[in-house]
Structure formats: C-alpha cells, structure tokens
Chains A and B, each alone.
Chain A
C-alpha cells in the first residue's frame, strides 16, 4: 500500500488523522475516506531526512494512548508560549503532523471503492476551468447543429 510507510506507521497516521479530523456535520472522518492510501504522493516530494522523522513520529503515535496524541496536538498550537528553540520544534511538529493530515484529507482523495460523502462536496467546494481547446470543440459542435 505504501512504499514509504510501514503498516505500523500507517496505523499511527490513521490514529492521529482521526483525532485531527474526526468527522461530523456531514463530513467523513480521516480514516473513513481512506485518503491515507495516497500518502506516497506526499512523501515522494518530501526530503528523505523529513520522511525519516515522520516515520518515527507515526511509529510513536501507533502505540501512544489517545490522550498523549491529543496532548501533543494541543501543544503544537501553543508555540508562542515557549522560548526558542522549543517553539520552533513545536511549529515543525505542527507542519509535519497537521500539514500531512490536512493535505491528504482536504485533497478530496479517497481509497478505491469509497462510497461515502466527498469532502469537497460536503464543503461545497467546486471549481472549474474550461481548457480553450474544449471551448473550440464545443463551438464546432454547436455550429454543426
């Protein structure tokens, strides 16, 4: 399933993902969408040293009690209350954890055969940009009618 993360690390990511994005109010949870199956798309663009650190963190999260993970997540947003370099470390953790979870979840990607509500649909996010070539084809089509 992943060339970068082991089964244990993927479990850690799903656990932290469900705490960050638990689902509700019409939105699915992180693990319901199966967006974790797209983790390699993110890891491929990440520097190898950062991938190594992320793997270690996910390994820790895979066996940590929920209150510990919640505690870390609460802490990373309170960087301004700490002196440097602790504050910097908390900011890096925030980007590393929430950056990955939010990127996967709000990308609207899901596992194959997922049939639940789409994240973008539930948010009402829809964008459209018609390539010029399609417009030309449409014009051609209507001209022939």
Chain B
C-alpha cells in the first residue's frame, strides 16, 4: 500500500512554507516537494554565477517568448525567499480595492487581512532600516529625493542579525548568516520541527486529481516517483503552479488557466559619479519611494544595486566601451523604476511542456515607465551625476497571476476558499492567484494569504486553526 500523506505541498516559497507550518501544527502529515536543491547558510554558493545557476530556474535566464522581459525565480528549498531582498510591506487600500473591484471577493481589504498579516509578522524578525544602515547609494537617493521635493521612506526588511561591516548583496545568493528571513530559516524550519517531510530535486510532471486522493508524478535525481496526498497544495509561484496545472491537462476544465499574468517590470538606471559610491557595500537597499504622485502614476523607485554579472547585462554594446563602463563599477549609483503593469499576459506551454510566456508592455505601461525614468533622470542630475545610463533591459520581478482567484469558473481558476474550481482536493494560495499587479513587493502578502488559506483548508477538514493550536495534537482526520 502506497504511503498517503494528508497534504502534499508542491513548492517551498512564501506560500508553501506558511501552509506547511500551519497544517503540520494542526497535526496533519505533510510532504513538501521542491524542484531545486537544499542549501544551508554554510553551503550557499558565494559566486554570482553559481548562485544564478544553482538557485534559479534556467540559470536566471527565463524570458518571455520574444525575450522582451527577463524573469528571475527561485529554484531551491525556500524558493524566491532565498534570492529576494526580503522586503516585507503590507498591501495598501489601493491594491486591495482594485482586487475587490475585479473579483467581488470581500476579504480583499486591508481590514479583513489585518489579522493574517499580524499572524505572519509575529513569526518573523522585521527591521525598519535606519540612517546608520545607509550606504552612499542610499544617501544619494535620499539627497536627490529631498532636493526634488519627493517623498521617501525607510524600507522594512525581514532580517534578524546582519551584523557590522557585512555586505548584504551577498544574500541575493542565500544569506550566510541566517539573518534574512527566508522561509528556510523561518516557516520551513518550524514546520520541520513539527514533522514536515521534505523531498528536494523533485520535478513534478503531472498532478492527477481524484475524488479521495491526489497523485503527484515526477522525477527525482533520474528516478520516476509518485507520491499521494488526500489533498494537494500547489505553491510553485505564478509560472511554476500554472505550468504544472497546464502539463497535467487542467486547461480543459479551467478555461482561465494561464490568463492574467502580470509582473512588475523593472528598469535599472545607472548613474556614474566622480566619487566612489560603492553601491554594493553594506545594506545595499535601505530606502524606498513613498510619494502618492508616483503611486497614482503607477510606478515606484527602488534604491537597489546588483553584482557584476547583472550590471554587465544592463549595458548595451560590447568591446572596450563596455569594459570601460564596468571598470567604473565602484562609481555607480542606481535607481530602479518598478512599474505596476496594466497589461496582462498569458502563460502557456509547448509540446514538450516548456513554458511559453507571452507578455507585452503596452502603451499604458510605457507611459508609467517613462514617467518614472524622467524622475530618475531629474534626481540623478540634481545630485551631480556625470552620466546616466538607462538600461533597455527589462527584468520582470514579482510574477503574478495565471491561476486567478475569483467567483466565476469562466474567468478564474481558484475560488474564495483557495480551492481550484471543481477540484475539491486541490488548493492554491501563491502569487498565481493574484487578480492584478499590486505595485508593492508581494512576499508578505503571499504569506498572509497563505495564512488565510490555511484556515479555509483546515475548515474543510473540520478543524479550526485556533482550536488546533490550543490542542497541539493530531487533529486532521481525513477518510480516504
């Protein structure tokens, strides 16, 4: 008789990890599947090339079919939380009101989501960056904002102990100090203490939904594998979750599967200064734009930087001209325009199951991007930049949609209880359910939605999360 878990959870990022913890805490027997490898603070790759190839899908070179957008997405235990900057902001009324208008779902409101945010935040170490954290890039950013009369605010980051004199750009390849609050050192760690089983390097090829059982087929280190759960949670992110469902043939019953793909296209702008800036040193990201005019216009400005490989990719051209530019690495400051995109794309697969992502930037998106780019130029000019390089490369971060949440089966994939329409044993609560681009870093909100989904899923099993917490014993009983 095959081993049957209460829940098979596919994916280990912000959604899968929060769900795994809550379900394990309620006494469920859970198996987490992750396509990537497991690293620890001691084994994370220290080289940018190895970080790209070991921690990201396709070495960090995922693109749309026309290569107009590059995507970075995590492929390691902890998912995107290993390679992101762990910037943890709540969504505002603007984002939730838009979602409620689009879906008619009432819990999309700051008020209704407050207790889920509170619950998640209580499990994380959060730090609001202080002036003493700023590096020169941040100083120039703030100086420029203040001279131009624009609003800025300190960033809030998930970190516990970054110490003194460390360069946090390193943790884009995994934090060697276990300070960054990735799911690996927070929710997965807690869930493992409660009995979570984890299988890494498990590439899911098919999910078969049955009335009492969900079968998950895949390949692990050259061997075919099958695992079974009474229920299955797909938490592979926008592209991963949608791809798995498409490969499994769900499109026939879910016509909206793959629709409504959005992201936050990012335009990195490099300014060269006569002085040494060393944007890669210290806490390399500590302030953000907070100007209602920017929010209204659909963009925000990020105080950010990147390693040599990423910076080299931003600059067009080649030869000595390009090398001369790279030699000024220490003189570079950077501000990134992050666009809240207005145009949706489509996620599909080819005959081999490979992703085919169609996503254009339409006129409305370009207007937002250009409005941001103009502001960046003004800021850099104000603080004395000698030269400004606006990169033509667009990086799509915060991938969302493909399995949108909604009330109607025709226009959505997941219902208000985070259940896939007409598939009662299949649940999704990752960024693929987002109805639109919020224009805010989504990590914390994915976790808050997963927290809410945990309640719904346990209620399906006849368990209340609060009750389960109090009892601290095995309470999930599902009959096959």
Contact = CB atoms under 8 A, between A and B. Distances in A.
A129 B177 contact: yes
A42 B53 contact: yes
Contacts of B307: 106, 125
Contact of B47 (A73, A107, A135): A107
Given A38-B49, A87-B66, A122-B327, A80 B392 contact: yes
B177 A47 contact: no
B50 interface: yes
A95 interface: yes
* A interface residue count range (under 10 / 10 to 19 / 20 to 34 / 35 or more): 35 or more
Given A80-B392, A99-B313, A125-B280, A106 B48 contact: yes
Interface in B325-374: 326-327, 329-330, 352, 354
B375 interface: no
Interface string B423-455: 000000000000000000000000000000000
Given A47-B58, A107-B47, A128 B392 contact: no
Interface string A42-76: 10111101100000000000000000000001000
Given A20-B319, A91-B68, A102-B309, A107 B48 contact: yes
A44 B323 contact: no
Nearest to B171: A129
Contact of B327 (A87, A105, A123): A123
Interface stretch (B107-115, B160-168, B258-266): B160-168
Contacts of B177: 129-132
B318 A109 contact: no
The residue among B61, B165, B392 with the most chain A CB atoms within 10 A of its own CB is: B61
B53 A92 contact: no
Interface string A99-122: 100111111110000000001101
The residue among A21, A103, A123, A133 with the most chain B CB atoms within 10 A of its own CB is: A103
Given A102-B313, A108-B47, A42 B68 contact: no
Given A99-B61, A127-B167, A26 B327 contact: yes
A130 B163 contact: yes
A130 B48 contact: no
A20 B169 CA distance: 26
Nearest to B160: A132
Nearest to A102: B312
Contact of A103 (B49, B317, B326): B49
Nearest to A18: B319
A84 interface: yes
Contacts of B49: 38, 41-42, 103-104, 107, 109
Contacts of A19: 318-319
Contacts of B42: 131, 133
A128 B167 contact: yes
A128 B171 CA distance: 10
B166 A130 contact: yes
A11 interface: no
Contacts of B330: 123-125
Nearest to A85: B66
A49 B65 contact: no
A22 B322 CA distance: 10
Interface string B164-191: 0111111100011111000000000000
Given A128-B170, A129-B177, A132-B161, 18 more contacts: A21-B318, A22-B319, A27-B326, A87-B66, A88-B66, A91-B68, A98-B313, A98-B318, A102-B312, A102-B313, A103-B309, A105-B312, A108-B308, A122-B327, A124-B330, A125-B329, A130-B163, A132-B177
17 contacts: A20-B319, A21-B318, A22-B319, A27-B323, A27-B326, A27-B327, A47-B58, A80-B392, A88-B67, A91-B66, A103-B52, A104-B49, A107-B47, A124-B330, A128-B165, A131-B177, A133-B42
